[in-house]
Chains A and B, each alone.
Chain A
Amino acid sequence: VIATPNIAVLTATVYSRLKTDTEGASVRAAVGVGASSVIHAGDLDAATLPPRPFVALRRGPCTPVNLSEWRAYFTWWLYDSPEQGYYRLDSLIRLVGQAYAAKDLSAPVDGAPSWIELSAGQQGQDAKLNSLLFVPLTLVISF
């Protein structure tokens, strides 16, 4: 029987990489106000948005792909003010990638190695979120 991952721990690990870990310091230096600009997507509120640019994490599915492998999806949604254009957001993509590449995540299943693929999605503008510009950045974690 394939071991079931601890999704809560995995989510916390992915989040803390940018929120508090040393490896995420360059991301915190590039967003609006450090760790205050790194949030969970569930805390997004159009009336009280963090200083920009900011990043918001949403967990996607965590699913077995065969008898010995799981795959977990997370998306960092990168947001900035329309007048800034996409330059700061596009710069953040590289910094986020470096934060995860700097050090392996702690194994989400005991003893299982993990690896991460990162892909940036299409640029957009969110009409229901103060017309902020956004870029989704998806992490695919296999273990």
Chain B
Amino acid sequence: VSVDFSQLYTYLDTVEQRVTRGAHQGLSTGADVVEQAAQQTSAYNDDTGATRASTVAVVISTIDDGSGTLSAAESAADAHNPGHGQNNVAISPSADRVVVALTSQTDYAGFLETTHAGQNAFITPTMQQYSGQLGQYAANGVKQEIEA
């Protein structure tokens, strides 16, 4: 007996692509919310404006690796505080995940998160606050894509 599974495999590939696309779209909406919240923080002094200008939430998947947004944010940091722009996100797109990365593209972003027991932290608290909601954004995006 010979069974041809080629149509089934094609169908499953399509479903996988649509799930990824839906999750990416849904999380893009969520990332906008997260980014806005992070940019509105008053956790640090904002002496140069580099941190705020380079704070972005980017979705990384096989659809978009986010490098354009991250590079622009790094340039924005350099424009406000020359020599202090830095890419802090090293996540390669993978077929089995869709990632939201919230970052500030300065070379002192890590310092802000930890100094004085996290007194100036805003990346970590923002992601903690929105992590549950991001799951919902992803689910909504997938649902819309599948039902379309």
- Size of the A side of the interface (Cβ < 8 Å), in residues, is 22
Chain A residues engaging chain B, CB cutoff 8 angstroms:
41, 44, 56, 58, 60-61, 63-66, 69, 71, 73, 75, 77, 124, 126-129, 134, 136
Identify B117's interface contact among A56, A65, A66, A73, CB under 8 A. Answer: A56
Bound-complex Cα distance A123 to B33 (A): 31
A127 touches B132 (CB 8 A): no
B132 touches A66 (CB 8 A): yes
A134 to B, closest residue via Cβ: B114
Bound-complex Cα distance A65 to B136 (A): 9
A77 to B, closest residue via Cβ: B117
Identify A129's interface contact among B115, B124, B130, CB under 8 A. Answer: B115
A66 to B, closest residue via Cβ: B132
Identify A58's interface contact among B117, B132, B135, CB under 8 A. Answer: B117
Identify A60's interface contact among B116, B124, B136, CB under 8 A. Answer: B124
Since A127-B115, A136-B114 are in contact, a sample of 8 more A-B pairs with Cβ atoms closer than 8 Å, ordered by chain A residue number, is A44-B117, A44-B119, A58-B118, A60-B124, A65-B131, A77-B118, A124-B114, A126-B114
Bound-complex Cα distance A136 to B119 (A): 12
B125 touches A63 (CB 8 A): no
A56 to B, closest residue via Cβ: B117
Asked if B129 is at the interface of the complex by the 8 Å CB criterion, the answer is: yes
A61 to B, closest residue via Cβ: B129
A41 touches B115 (CB 8 A): no
Q: Is the interface of B mostly helix, strand, loop or mixed?
A: helix
- Please, what's the 1-or-0 string for B106-148, where 1 marks a CB less than 8 Å from any CB in chain A? 0000010011111100001100111111011000000000000
Identify B132's interface contact among A65, A75, A77, A128, CB under 8 A. Answer: A65
A63 touches B132 (CB 8 A): yes
Chain B residues with CB below 8 A from A60, complex form = 124-125, 128
Min Cβ gap B109→A in Å is 13
B125 touches A129 (CB 8 A): no
Chain A residues with CB below 8 A from B116, complex form = 41, 44, 126, 128-129
